[in-house]
A = this chain, B = another copy of it.
Amino acid sequence: MYSFSEIYERYQDQIGTVEFPQSPENLYGSITYFLDYPGKRIRPVLCLMGNELFSEIHPDSYIVANAMELFHNFTLVHDDIMDRSAIRRGRPTLHVKYGEQTAILAGDLLLIQAYIQLNKIEPKYKGRIFGLFSEMACQICEGQQMDIDFEDRSIESVSYAEYLKMITLKTSVLLGAAAKIGAIIGSANAEQQEDVYAFGKNIGIAFQIQDDFLDAFGDTFKMGKQAGSDILENKKTALLIKAFELADSSQKMQLKEAMCKVGEDRIHTVIGLYKELKVDLWAGRAIHYYTEIAFNSLDRIEIPIYKKEKLTELANSLLVRQS
């Protein structure tokens, strides 16, 4: 069994095999610019680990891992345009550096390139994996649309159930699908495939709620970003949505007033209300709840425990940032 860093290294060696033409220079240059500063490669590594639970890593898993990474980058490029984000991985976003027109095309091309990768795998499971991949791709677009729709709605009109659906579609199904497709290539049976999917998806949900939690309650130094940035944007996070669900009418009024304050004052007042409403404790329980579902799914898979250790490590590395 390989560790995360070993699998990461092996994957890094492989990704060089995805080659792009030189021309048009702006288009392919922008893609190279974006891919040259990679993220944590969690999705491709999950795919490889999903395979390795059941058999030695098959070359097709590296291909799917590439497809997953290209697809993930497609979503980032287009999301950055939609969200008007200026910085990604410490550098100007693709649309800021190359213009929005090229960014739309670069995203489109990354999506097409993901499908080009998928077309290289063995025919025996190609149709099935294509189907799963496309279903996941639709869900991610749906999740992003829900997120966009949330922006135009009042905070009180968005329920925690809707929030959960949104983050599940927007971010978690990709982790589930990456791990599941790896498992399919590794010849897992149907039940095992579902358990692997549930593991990835629920780790994703826990991670997303944790992300919201850390923005308010995390250690600024450890996170590497300013605490309270979500609060400063009045972003509809799990915490804010849950706070409104838990608040009585007087507390709702206080929350709304707090959301109109400026800078540190807003952060302190909102966090104070979160604590009063015990939203911090609630978030801890929610993170624990989805983590448990994930690990229970992994436990159900009847394979030697040592084979699961790397996935457990990966999950823990994603979920212990608050400690």
Chain A residues in the interface with B (C-beta under 8 A): 21, 23-24, 26-27, 74, 78, 81-82, 100-102, 104-105, 107-109, 111-113, 115-116, 119, 123, 126-127, 130-131, 134, 137-138, 141-142, 144-146, 148-149
Given contacts A26-B149, A82-B101, A145-B105, contact A137 B112 (CB under 8 A): yes
Evaluate contact between B101 and A141: CB separation under 8 angstroms.
no
Bound form: Cα–Cα A103–B118 in Å? 26
A122 to chain B, nearest CB (A): 10
A81 to chain B, nearest CB (A): 6
Evaluate contact between A24 and B137: CB separation under 8 angstroms.
no
Evaluate contact between A112 and B126: CB separation under 8 angstroms.
no
- Specify the chain B residue showing the minimal Cβ separation from A75: B108
Bound form: Cα–Cα A82–B102 in Å? 9
A78 surroundings in chain B (CB, below 8 A): 104-105, 108
Q: Looking at the complex, which one of B112, B116, B145 makes contact with A102 (CB distance below 8 Å)?
A: B145
A interface secondary structure, majority: helix
A66 to chain B, nearest CB (A): 14
Evaluate contact between B111 and A138: CB separation under 8 angstroms.
no
Evaluate contact between B138 and A105: CB separation under 8 angstroms.
no
Bound form: Cα–Cα A100–B149 in Å? 13
Bound form: Cα–Cα A123–B130 in Å? 12
A101 surroundings in chain B (CB, below 8 A): 82, 148
- Specify the chain B residue showing the minimal Cβ separation from A104: B78
A23 surroundings in chain B (CB, below 8 A): 142
Given contacts A130-B115, A130-B119, A141-B109, contact A102 B24 (CB under 8 A): no
Evaluate contact between A134 and B116: CB separation under 8 angstroms.
yes
A12 to chain B, nearest CB (A): 25
A137 surroundings in chain B (CB, below 8 A): 108, 112
